[in-house]
Chains A and B, each alone.
Chain A
Amino acid sequence: MLDIRVARRQGSFQVDADFKAKNTGITALFGPSGAGKTSVINMVAGLLRPDTGRIVVQDRVLFDSECGIDLPPEKRCIGYIFQDGRLFPHLTVRGNLTYGMRLTPPKQRCIALDQVVDLLGIKHLLDRRPAKLSGGEKQRVAIGRALLTSPRLLLMDEPLSSIDDGRKEDLLPFIAKLPRAFCIPILYVTHSIDEIERLADNLVLMADGKSIATGDAAEMVNRIQSGTNLRVQAGPAATTC
């Protein structure tokens, strides 16, 4: 179970998210740009500190403002795939892939380099530098790099947004395969209904920094598309945290 309840004030913007998600499959964090989605997963990753709240991933408390728990990012065992890839430009693809793997104690490694390289089809890229890769190739390497730390949760922040449309089709099947192939839940930030229909099992709807509804992805997409006003329905429930 992922149990996430975070509040943080950023200038005049208030992020206030509260949701639970299953330990399997892909949970999409959906909402318009500026809804606070990235802030929420940055808090889950430990890159941003909530003012108050509690973050539990697979029965491990990562943050709890009341108990004074705040694990640094490197202790959270969470893989993060950023919107812009963020591959290390001074290392080869192989160096990037093994960067986190070598920092993971051998006992905790449950994902092998060969397995990831095969699944993502990046064997021919291993000795290249990130500057020579296309957008799609970069994101596949970034996914591999995060997977190789054998994380308990994968965070993806609009991983397809910097890739042109034709190439998205290549990457979608890879992402869809991940939860089952490696038994890792994914928290997937997007503002694309299409990606949700293709990938997500569950959906958390966000607007104006608040999580306003949670539920089965297919059902929620139906309701969004049929124009039901989710905000009114879910409003009271979301405020009782």
Chain B
Amino acid sequence: MTEALSLTPLEAEALSLSLWVSAWAVVGSLPAGIAAAWVLARLKFPGKILLDGLVHLPLVLPPVVTGYMLLVLMGKNGPLGALLQKTIGLSFSFNWKGAALASAVMAFPLLVRAVRLSIESVDKGLEAAARTLGARPLRVFFTVTLPLIMPGVLAGVILSFARSLSEFGATITFVSNIPGQTRTLPLALYTLTQVPGGEAGALRLCVISVLLALLALVGSELIARHIGRRLRG
């Protein structure tokens, strides 16, 4: 019985890799996500609709297309990939960093949407009040806007984390299916469905995925409630 409940080394590897990749995907894309959300919520400029479209593209494109574009752009011989490799020694090709990048790009629209909505609901009068009290725009953002949008940021973080955990198509296209590097839970599950006698293992991974997703959702709800209570006093 206890044997059935404990993870096999393969499962443990896929699970911890999934968490690691998703965490980096979220942490890495959060500053850019908040910045993009702020720009879309507050600024008016020609071409804004284009930026909006670009941010949302991964949501509507087939993941394989996004993965292939990443491969062309960020791969070893891609223009951006080669440049990053040469200048700062950062490589995304066929390693966990590539998996994190693919997850981040796929989850980006969800992050931006959640944060943008909460920025749009912030009373600009509070920001104006902070300016009259002597705060520069950047300080206003960090001391007034950011604390007020925390519930939205958190919702965005959870959503994009959950989306990263479930990322499959772009990842397998961009960085393939390498054990210990890019074989996250969904890829491990897919691998097991491709080999004879893998059904039992696949089912176990399926249960792990469901539990993980539930945990993330319940956790986010609890934190959101806590923050909401604090804001209401």
Are the C-beta atoms of A78 and B233 separated by less than 8 Å?
A: no
Are the C-beta atoms of B133 and A86 separated by less than 8 Å?
A: no
- Asked if B217 is an interface residue, CB under 8 A from chain A, the answer is no
Which residue of chain B has the shortest Cβ distance to A108 in the bound complex?
B134
Instruction: Pick from A46, A76, A78, A86: contact of B125, CB below 8 A.
Output: A86
B132-145: CB near A (< 8 Å → 1, else 0) gives 11111001000110
Residues of A87-137 contacting chain B, CB below 8 A:
88-90, 99-100, 103-104, 128-132
Tell me what chain B mostly uses at the interface: helix, strand, loop, or mixed: helix
Residues of A with C-beta under 8 A to B42: none
| Closest Cβ–Cβ distance, residue A106 to chain B (whole Å) | 13
- Asked if B126 is an interface residue, CB under 8 A from chain A, the answer is yes
Are the C-beta atoms of A90 and B134 separated by less than 8 Å?
A: no
- Asked if B51 is an interface residue, CB under 8 A from chain A, the answer is no
Are the C-beta atoms of B134 and A47 separated by less than 8 Å?
A: no
A73-87: CB near B (< 8 Å → 1, else 0) gives 110101110101010
Docked Cα-Cα span, A79 to B134, in Å, equals: 9
Residues of A with C-beta under 8 A to B128: 47, 73, 86
| Closest Cβ–Cβ distance, residue B42 to chain A (whole Å) | 16
Instruction: Pick from A72, A86, A128, A129: contact of B129, CB below 8 A.
Output: A86
Residues of B with C-beta under 8 A to A103: 133-135, 139
Instruction: Pick from B126, B132, B135: contact of A47, CB below 8 A.
Output: B132
Residues of B with C-beta under 8 A to A84: 125
Question: Given A74-B135, A89-B148, A90-B147, do A129 and B233 touch, yes or no (CB 8 Å)?
Answer: yes
Are the C-beta atoms of A104 and B134 separated by less than 8 Å?
A: yes
Instruction: Pick from A45, A104, A128: contact of B132, CB below 8 A.
Output: A45
Instruction: Pick from B131, B139, B143: contact of A72, CB below 8 A.
Output: B131
Residues of A with C-beta under 8 A to B50: none
- Asked if A145 is an interface residue, CB under 8 A from chain B, the answer is yes
- Asked if A190 is an interface residue, CB under 8 A from chain B, the answer is no
Which residue of chain A has the shortest Cβ distance to B127 in the bound complex?
A86
Docked Cα-Cα span, A149 to B129, in Å, equals: 12
Residues of B with C-beta under 8 A to A206: none
| Centre residue among A45, A73, A84, A86 by max chain B CB count within 10 A | A73
Residues of B114-128 contacting chain A, CB below 8 A:
123, 125-126, 128
Residues of B195-233 contacting chain A, CB below 8 A:
230-233
- Asked if B130 is an interface residue, CB under 8 A from chain A, the answer is yes
Are the C-beta atoms of B131 and A47 separated by less than 8 Å?
A: yes
Question: Given A86-B126, A88-B126, A131-B232, do A74 and B132 touch, yes or no (CB 8 Å)?
Answer: yes
| Closest Cβ–Cβ distance, residue B141 to chain A (whole Å) | 13
Which residue of chain A has the shortest Cβ distance to B144 in the bound complex?
A88
Residues of B with C-beta under 8 A to A73: 128, 131-132
Residues of A with C-beta under 8 A to B123: 86
Instruction: Pick from B134, B230, B233: contact of A128, CB below 8 A.
Output: B233
Docked Cα-Cα span, A100 to B233, in Å, equals: 21
Docked Cα-Cα span, A146 to B125, in Å, equals: 15
Docked Cα-Cα span, A130 to B129, in Å, equals: 15
Residues of B with C-beta under 8 A to A146: 132-133
| Closest Cβ–Cβ distance, residue B138 to chain A (whole Å) | 11
| Centre residue among B128, B132, B135, B144 by max chain A CB count within 10 A | B132
Residues of A with C-beta under 8 A to B147: 90
Are the C-beta atoms of B132 and A90 separated by less than 8 Å?
A: no
| Closest Cβ–Cβ distance, residue B226 to chain A (whole Å) | 13
| Closest Cβ–Cβ distance, residue A219 to chain B (whole Å) | 32
Residues of B with C-beta under 8 A to A78: 132
Q: Can you list 20 A-B pairs with a CB-CB distance of less than 8 A?
A: A45-B132, A46-B131, A47-B132, A72-B136, A73-B131, A74-B132, A79-B132, A82-B129, A86-B123, A86-B126, A86-B129, A88-B130, A88-B144, A89-B231, A89-B233, A100-B132, A100-B134, A103-B139, A132-B233, A146-B132
A86-B126, A103-B139, A104-B134 given; name 10 further pairs at CB < 8 Å: A45-B132, A79-B132, A80-B129, A82-B129, A89-B126, A89-B232, A100-B133, A103-B133, A130-B233, A132-B233
The 5 closest A-B pairs by CB, nearest first: A100-B133, A131-B233, A129-B233, A103-B134, A73-B131
